[in-house]
């Protein structure tokens, strides 16, 4: 019989051993030292078979941007179960222990990145924000208009640790799905540059875009030197992060990358779906995009979560939320929006819309269409109500999470 509880200091070694087996990596003391700078040991949960640690689970206490605001969010992470104990309820047990803790802490949301799409819907998480992996030939990065006032300078790590965070902070408030990065997050995660991440490319390069003397954007990238058999340079730039406080700053950074000698291809894994490149490239057809799910969201407290975001139009709707995994979190609620501010309370009225917890997580950040889900038959709803519900829930810009955690 499996048991689930928080991990004790003396069990951390077994915790890492188990995680390294299920996640297929070799343990590395230096990695662990960095990770402990951002991990919250008191949120690490494990599954035990007698005294044997067989499953791992953790959470970050995040402050996540939601449409028009920010809410405390449990960032679920390091979920693994040993192959010897898979499909015997270990994840389900750890998830229950985690949800008890989230409810205790009063976090209205939980969020995660899923290694595989079928795992988390049953626990009430929904795929809320997609992302795109993009690739384009350097010579196809061309814009009608470039802000010539912006210049780019290469900087070192220590400068980046001071200059990047305020730029990200200005950007973060505009994008649901982002979250506050602590100084440790910057140093030990975002700008950490372990050798195994390089995959044949250089160490990371860091650069800042300045408008006059004001830093307005930054980029983190690597280059890979490559030559054709005939001696033609065919190097590739891989961008890890590119952030501007406005689109002009971002385009100046793309332009800088496009003009790097010896490089002919530019790749970036996580771009928002509503990428300004789609509207600003002279020939956007050359931008190849592969779309996949990014951030998954779980609403843990319906009234707090729906009252805690803003809305782009006013109105009212009565919703029923079915929550098969934690039925007590579901129920019927009325959302009233006035002046963009929402008030959500339990209600006895007849619901106009029924969603399961996972569907609520999917639409919560404003990036999904309830009408599209109704048209696909996954929500039973007449067309007018679906359009009305979309009018309330949709939010621009769409959600995007640049941090995989
Ligand atoms: C994903 C993982 C944690 C699941 O753990 P587990 O203990 O086997 O899960 P449970 O036994 O609690 O499964 C609960 C339910 O989810 C289903 N499920 C679990 N993992 C699944 C998967 N990868 N795909 C589809 N269904 C899955 C189970 O079949 C079970 O369904 P049932 O209740 O209808 O029988 C485990 O397989 C694992 O460690 N995988 C490798 C690491 C990984 O991908 N971790 C996730 C990181 S985001």
Q: How far apart are CA 390 and CA 384, in angstroms?
A: 10
- Whether 116 lines ligand 1, by a CB cut-off of 6 Å, is yes
Which residue in 99, 311, 325, 405 is the catalytic one? Answer: 405
d(CA 211, CA 217): 9
Q: What is the mean pLDDT of residues 14-22?
A: 97
CB 134 within 8 A of CB 287: yes
Mean pLDDT, range 111-136, rounded to an integer: 98
pLDDT band at 382 (very low <50, low <70, confident <90, very high): confident
> pLDDT by residue (tens digit) across 293-313?
999 999 999 999 999 999 999
Using most ligand atoms within 8 A of CB, pick from 21, 119, 296, 325 the residue to mutate for ligand 1.
119
CA distance 71 to 66: 7
Q: What's the pLDDT at 102? A: 98
Q: Is 210 a catalytic residue?
A: no
**Is 321 near ligand 1, meaning CB less than 6 Å away?**
no
Catalytic residue among 120, 256, 311, 325: 120
Name residue, tokens 């499996």: 2
- The whole-chain average pLDDT of the chain stands at 97
With 90 as the cut, is the pLDDT of residue 112 above it?
Answer: yes
Give the residue among 127, 123, 66 at the shortest CA–CA distance from 373: 127
Active-site annotation holds for 218? no
Tell me the backbone φ, ψ of residue 193, rounded to 5 degrees: -130, 65
User: What share of the chain has pLDDT > 70, as a percent?
Assistant: 100
Q: Per 3-state DSSP, what percentage of the chain is helix, strand, and coil (rounded to 5)?
A: 35, 35, 30
**Ligand 1 site, residue 84, Cβ cutoff 6 A:** no
Kindly report, residue by residue over 41-71, the tens digit of the pLDDT. Answer: 999 999 999 999 999 999 999 999 999 999 9
160 lines ligand 1 (CB under 6 A): no
Is the Cβ–Cβ distance between 255 and 141 less than 8 Å? yes
Measured in angstroms, how far is the CA atom of residue 261 from the centroid of ligand 1? 47
Q: Does pLDDT of 170 surpass 90?
A: yes
pLDDT in tens, 372-381: 999 999 998 8
Ligand 1 centroid from CA 77, angstroms: 14
Q: What tens digit of pLDDT does each residue of 206-217 get?
A: 999 999 999 999
The predicted model gives 264-275 an average pLDDT of 97
pLDDT given at position 159: 98
CA of 219 to the centre of ligand 1 (A): 36
132-293 is a CATH 3.40.630.30 domain = yes
Going by C-beta distance under 8 Å and a sequence separation of 6 or more, which residues neighbour residue 95? 57, 123, 325
pLDDT in tens, 69-110: 999 999 999 999 999 999 999 999 999 999 999 999 999 999
pLDDT over threshold 90, residue 232: yes
The percent of residues in the chain predicted with pLDDT above 90, rounded, is: 98
Our answer on whether the CB atom of 239 is closer than 6 Å to any ligand 1 atom is no
Give the per-residue pLDDT at 229.
96
Q: Which of 1, 45, 86, 111 to mutate to test the pocket of ligand 1 (most atoms within 8 A of CB)?
A: 86
- Tell me, using a 6 A CB cutoff, whether residue 79 lines ligand 1: yes
Ligand 1 neighbourhood includes 87 CB (under 6 angstroms): yes
Residue 196's pLDDT band (boundaries 50, 70, 90)? confident
Same fold for the pair 2-113 and 132-293: yes
For strand 263-271 and strand 235-244, is the pairing parallel, antiparallel, or unpaired? parallel
| 95 CA from centroid of ligand 1 (Å) | 11
For the domain with range 2-113, which CATH number is right: 2.60.40.10, 3.90.110.10, 3.40.630.30, 3.40.1390.20? 3.40.630.30
Top mutation candidate among 58, 91, 324 for ligand 1, by most atoms within 8 Å of CB: 91
Closest C-alpha residue for ligand 1 atom 3:
80
Residue of 360, 294, 269 whose CA lies nearest to 114: 294
Region 2-20 average pLDDT: 97
Is the C-beta atom of 81 inside 6 A of ligand 1?
Answer: yes
Please list, in sequence order, all residues whose beta carbon lies within 8 angstroms of the beta carbon of residue 52, skipping any fewer than 6 positions away. none
Taking the domains of the chain in order of start, what are their residue ranges? 2-113, 132-293, 302-356+375-393
- Average pLDDT (231-250) is 97
> Is the CB of 82 within 6 Å of ligand 1?
no
- Span 352-363, average pLDDT: 97
Tokens linked to 63: 């402050």
Q: Whose CA is nearest to atom 20 of ligand 1?
A: 119
The CATH code belonging to domain 302-356+375-393 is 3.30.1050.10
- Counted residue by residue, the chain has a size of 405
């Amino acid at each position: 019989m499996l048991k689930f509880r928080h991990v004790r200091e003396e069990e951390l070694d077994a915790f890492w051993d188990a995680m390294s087996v299920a996640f297929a990596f070799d343990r590395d003391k230096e990695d662990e030292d960095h990770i402990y700078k951002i991990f919250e040991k008191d949120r690490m949960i494990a599954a035990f078979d007698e005294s044997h640690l067989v499953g791992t689970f953790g959470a970050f206490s995040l402050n996540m941007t939601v449409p028009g605001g920010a809410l405390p969010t449990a960032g679920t992470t390091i979920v693994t179960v040993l192959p010897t104990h898979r499909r015997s309820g270990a994840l389900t047990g750890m998830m229950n222990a985690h949800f008890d803790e989230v409810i205790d802490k009063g976090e209205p949301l939980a969020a995660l990145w899923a290694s595989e799409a079928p795992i988390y819907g049953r626990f009430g998480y929904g795929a809320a924000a997609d992302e795109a992996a993009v690739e384009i030939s350097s010579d196809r990065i061309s814009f009608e208009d470039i802000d010539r006032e912006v210049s780019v300078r290469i900087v070192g790590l220590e400068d980046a640790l001071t200059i990047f965070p305020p730029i990200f902070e200005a950007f973060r408030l505009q994008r649901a799905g982002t979250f506050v990065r602590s100084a440790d997050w910057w140093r030990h995660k975002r700008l950490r540059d372990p050798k195994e991440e390089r995959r044949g490319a250089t160490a990371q390069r860091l650069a800042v875009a300045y408008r006059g003397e004001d830093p307005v954007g930054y980029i983190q990238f690597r280059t890979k030197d490559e030559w054709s058999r005939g001696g033609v340079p065919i190097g590739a730039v891989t961008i890890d992060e590119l952030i501007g406080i406005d689109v002009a700053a971002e385009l100046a950074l793309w332009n800088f990358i496009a003009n790097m000698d010896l490089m002919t291809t530019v790749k970036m894994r996580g771009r928002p779906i509503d990428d300004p490149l789609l509207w600003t490239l002279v020939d956007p057809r050359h931008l190849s995009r592969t779309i996949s799910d990014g951030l998954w969201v779980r609403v843990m407290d319906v009234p707090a979560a729906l009252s805690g975001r803003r809305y782009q139009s006013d109105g009212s709707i009565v919703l029923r939320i079915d929550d098969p995994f934690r039925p007590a979190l579901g129920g019927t609620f009325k959302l009233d929006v006035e002046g963009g501010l929402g008030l959500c309370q339990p209600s006895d009225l007849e619901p106009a819309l029924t969603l399961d917890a996972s569907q609520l997580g999917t639409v919560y950040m404003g990036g999904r269409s309830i009408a599209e889900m109704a048209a696909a038959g996954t929500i039973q709803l007449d067309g007018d109500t679906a359009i009305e519900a979309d009018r309330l829930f949709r939010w621009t810009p769409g959600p995007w999470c640049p941090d995989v955690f």
